[in-house]
Amino acid sequence: MRRILPIFALLLPTMAIAAPGPSEIVAHAPDAAWADVPADRLLVMTLGDGTRIPIELAPQFAPAHTGNIIRLARAHRWDGGAIIRVQDDYVVQWAPHDEKANLPTGFIAHPPAEYDRPRQGIAVRPLGFSDPYAPAAGFAAGWPVGMDQDRVWLAHCYGMIGVARDMPPDTGDGQELYAVNGEAPRQLDRNLALVGRVLTGMDHLGALPRGTGALGFYANNARKVAIRTITLATDLPLGQQPHLQVMRTDSPAFAAYLDARANRTDPFYVHPARGVALCNVPVPTRAKP
Amino acid sequence: MRRILPIFALLLPTMAIAAPGPSEIVAHAPDAAWADVPADRLLVMTLGDGTRIPIELAPQFAPAHTGNIIRLARAHRWDGGAIIRVQDDYVVQWAPHDEKANLPTGFIAHPPAEYDRPRQGIAVRPLGFSDPYAPAAGFAAGWPVGMDQDRVWLAHCYGMIGVARDMPPDTGDGQELYAVNGEAPRQLDRNLALVGRVLTGMDHLGALPRGTGALGFYANNARKVAIRTITLATDLPLGQQPHLQVMRTDSPAFAAYLDARANRTDPFYVHPARGVALCNVPVPTRAKP
């Protein structure tokens, strides 16, 4: 076993000096590598215990669904709602208190199945490694995606948010949403509308108690996690709006970060994989300096 | 968007009848598709709140490390220990109360870096889809693995357990162990010794509060999760030994399950991926009937 190690061990001191690790690349990325998350596509979910979870929407991929979601937030439809389902290694799901109540003006009861979109009009940086779920994978406008020659679609990575639906593919209207909380369930790609991602706070959502009912639904209503509010950031007082940035996936810093994730040369590593899965390259986020 | 749907929608009723989903395949797998987990490679971790977490060891891949771990368990070294680190989307890590105390007879202070093993002597079922981390991926003797022509190694999938170490590659002696609690950190493959997996109870370990210190270590000692005992199953009274089975990865049932995970034809799916990642094919476990 050890016979494979000396080569790497000998290389390590050089590599450690030559190539910074992913965290260092992110920490030292220039301001030009970061893009503000605009307040009009930023939701703030506040849980019963006061935890604030900022969510970025992806209107480039699901305009009808994100339109519905913005209308729902502005109408305070989730205030008093709850997290109703936590299935281990799968999803956290939430819903309004009453899904049948009057829906806001402009709400689309049966939005189209926004499961992918044309490649035209959106620039893509290829991952550069094979993807078992799609002909190719990469990053488009800051988001992890699968793609073929004509279409591009958001990928079910950790923290991505989608629209729950029943069996017919057009029944998800955006009232019930889920966030991925485990190994990327990429089999769901192109089968549900992904609409955004949790920017910070997965450490909280990921640690919620798992539901004991079928599919991780909370069998006991008392276990449900209360949602105080979900608000569009533009509707918050200026002082309460989060100011967050996401790394531009078309930046040189992101290219370096992606390369470092695939070729770990920080000193801990004796055997860099020389490859990486799409969802193991989380797009960096930071507070706006 | 909808234009891609009718083809699949039309196919669905036929497919739903023709091909059962992964859960149905597992539920109906014959007894011959299951292998008992022998008590002499089965640990039972009991947490402070009484939760029992059975852990299967993988001596085929890491004989020196699993030998150490069995000696530590038989010497009650983890009794009164704690989970000291929970890093979101990465690992849960535990340790004995005192790592410097007398170590059991036969304990190897510096085991070899058991990061891979020869392919010879272990049968492998290929995954059948590309893997970004290894020349090929598959399942060997019930375990998810990466491989090249000569070597085979365990993969860092959800619930897999490894030996924490410091910078030099041989410093992990098996006292501090970690379990993967998020998106598979496969960059760690061949960089740490994997020694087993959590058979049931990841729903509990996965929901532990994340540590607020650097790397998810619990900054506050009071937050640490107490470990009452970690015991080799053979040292438990017969009535307290878990009787668990893992699906044989060389069985026809597993082949059908793998195929169904990659080609989701249950009625919910409108667009089967026709591919799947290694770690998104968790090897099924059940109580022995």
CATH number of the domain within which A112 lies? 2.40.100.10
Residue A4 belongs to some domain of the structure? yes
Residue B92 belongs to some domain of the structure? yes
Are A136 and A153 contacting, i.e. CB atoms less than 8 angstroms apart? no
Residues A260 and A139 in one domain: no
**Strand, coil or helix: what is B182?**
coil
**In this complex, is the C-beta atom of B277 within 8 Å of any C-beta atom belonging to chain A?**
yes
Answer yes or no: is pLDDT of B12 > 70: no
With a CB cutoff of 8 Å and minimum separation 6, the contacts of A1 are B112, B113, B114, B115, B116, B117
Residues A127 and A222 in one domain: yes
Place of tokens 């709140």: B49
How far apart, in whole angstroms, are the C-alpha atoms of residue A233 and residue B27?
46
Return the pLDDT at B220.
85
Judge residue A108's burial from the number of C-beta atoms within 10 Å of its C-beta, 0-12 exposed, 13-18 middle, 19 or more buried: middle
Q: Residue B67 is encoded by which pair of tokens?
A: 């030998």
Nearest residue to A116 via CA among A187, A172, A194, A177: A194
Whether A277 sits inside 8 A of B210 (CB atoms) is no
Residues A51 and A25 in one domain: no
Whether B183 sits inside 8 A of A279 (CB atoms) is yes
**In this complex, is the C-beta atom of B120 within 8 Å of any C-beta atom belonging to chain A?**
no
How far apart, in whole angstroms, are the C-alpha atoms of residue A253 and residue A234?
30
**In this complex, is the C-beta atom of B56 within 8 Å of any C-beta atom belonging to chain A?**
no
Residues A288 and A181 in one domain: no
Residue B76: C-alpha distances to residues B80, B108, B195, B285 (Å)? 9, 17, 19, 27
**pLDDT digit string, tens, across residues B137-171:** 999 999 999 999 999 999 999 999 999 998 887 77
Chain B residues within 8 A of A9 when measuring between CB atoms: 169
Answer yes or no: is pLDDT of B5 > 60: no
Q: How close does chain B come to A235, measured CA to CA in Å?
A: 30
Amino acid of residue B181: N
Q: Residue A98 is encoded by which pair of tokens?
A: 């009453």
Give me the phi and psi of B214, to 5 degrees please: -60, 140
Chain A residues within 8 A of B112 when measuring between CB atoms: 1-2
Residue B142 belongs to some domain of the structure? yes
Whether A116 sits inside 8 A of B1 (CB atoms) is yes
**pLDDT digit string, tens, across residues B99-145:** 888 899 999 999 999 999 999 999 999 999 999 999 999 999 999 99
Amino acid of residue A149: Q
**In this complex, is the C-beta atom of A85 within 8 Å of any C-beta atom belonging to chain B?**
no
Answer yes or no: is pLDDT of B239 > 90: yes
**In this complex, is the C-beta atom of B131 within 8 Å of any C-beta atom belonging to chain A?**
yes
How far apart, in whole angstroms, are the C-alpha atoms of residue B243 and residue B37?
7
Residues A52 and A144 in one domain: yes
Which of B8, B160, B271, B285 to mutate to test binding with chain A, by most A CBs within 10 Å of its CB?
B271
How far apart, in whole angstroms, are the C-alpha atoms of residue A212 and residue B97?
32
**In this complex, is the C-beta atom of B38 within 8 Å of any C-beta atom belonging to chain A?**
no
Residues A226 and A145 in one domain: yes
Residue B208 belongs to some domain of the structure? yes
Whether B187 sits inside 8 A of A261 (CB atoms) is yes
- Nearest residue in chain A measured CA to CA from B88: A203
Nearest residue to A182 via CA among A210, A155, A206: A206
Whether A183 sits inside 8 A of B185 (CB atoms) is no
Residues A160 and A207 in one domain: yes
Return the pLDDT at B36.
98
Count of domains observed in chain A: 2
Residues A28 and A46 in one domain: no
| B285-287 sheet: strands from edge to edge | B34-36, B244-247, B285-287
- Nearest residue in chain A measured CA to CA from B118: A1
Whether A116 sits inside 8 A of B185 (CB atoms) is no
Whether A280 sits inside 8 A of B185 (CB atoms) is yes
Q: How close does chain A come to B235, measured CA to CA in Å?
A: 30
**pLDDT digit string, tens, across residues B196-212:** 999 999 999 999 999 99
Chain B residues within 8 A of A207 when measuring between CB atoms: 86, 88, 207-210
Q: Residue A190 is encoded by which pair of tokens?
A: 């192109």
**Strand, coil or helix: what is B42?**
strand
Return the pLDDT at A191.
97
Q: Residue B220 is encoded by which pair of tokens?
A: 């506050």
Residue A247 belongs to some domain of the structure? no
Nearest residue to B287 via CA among B87, B31, B8: B31
Amino acid of residue A275: G
**In this complex, is the C-beta atom of B88 within 8 Å of any C-beta atom belonging to chain A?**
yes
CA B160, B22, A132, A279 torsion: positive or negative?
A: negative
Q: How close does chain A come to B243, measured CA to CA in Å?
A: 22
Could you give the count of Cα atoms lying within 13 Å of A226 in the half-sphere of its Cβ? 7
| Angle, CA B37 vertex, CA B32 and CA B38 arms, to 5° | 115
Residue A13 belongs to some domain of the structure? yes
How far is Cα of residue B8 from the mean position of the Cα atoms in its chain?
35
Return the pLDDT at B11.
33
**In this complex, is the C-beta atom of B206 within 8 Å of any C-beta atom belonging to chain A?**
yes
With a CB cutoff of 8 Å and minimum separation 6, the contacts of B121 are none
Residue A269 belongs to some domain of the structure? yes
DSSP one-letter code for B78: T
Nearest to B210 among A117, A203, A279 (CB): A203
Residue B44 belongs to some domain of the structure? yes
Answer yes or no: is pLDDT of B16 > 50: no
CA Rg, chain B, in Å? 20
Q: How close does chain A come to B36, measured CA to CA in Å?
A: 25
Nearest residue to B138 via CA among B272, B25, B88, B130: B130
How many CB contacts within 8 angstroms connect chain A with chain B?
169
Return the pLDDT at B18.
53
Whether B113 sits inside 8 A of A5 (CB atoms) is yes
DSSP one-letter code for A217: B
Show the low-confidence residues of chain A (pLDDT under 70). 1-18
With a CB cutoff of 8 Å and minimum separation 6, the contacts of B222 are none
Are A148 and A134 contacting, i.e. CB atoms less than 8 angstroms apart? yes
Nearest to B89 among A114, A158, A273 (CB): A158
Residues A130 and A182 in one domain: yes
Place of tokens 């539920």: B27
With a CB cutoff of 8 Å and minimum separation 6, the contacts of B257 are B22, B25, B26, B29, B247, B281, B284
Structural domain including B175 reads 38-241
Nearest to A273 among B4, B189, B203 (CB): B189
- Nearest residue in chain A measured CA to CA from B202: A88
Nearest to A129 among B1, B132, B169 (CB): B132
Residues A204 and A276 in one domain: no
Q: How close does chain B come to A238, measured CA to CA in Å?
A: 28
Are B179 and B92 contacting, i.e. CB atoms less than 8 angstroms apart? yes
Nearest to A158 among B132, B183, B268 (CB): B183
Return the pLDDT at B2.
26
Which of A7, A10, A83, A88 to mutate to test binding with chain B, by most B CBs within 10 Å of its CB?
A88
Residues A260 and A173 in one domain: no
Residues A52 and A180 in one domain: yes
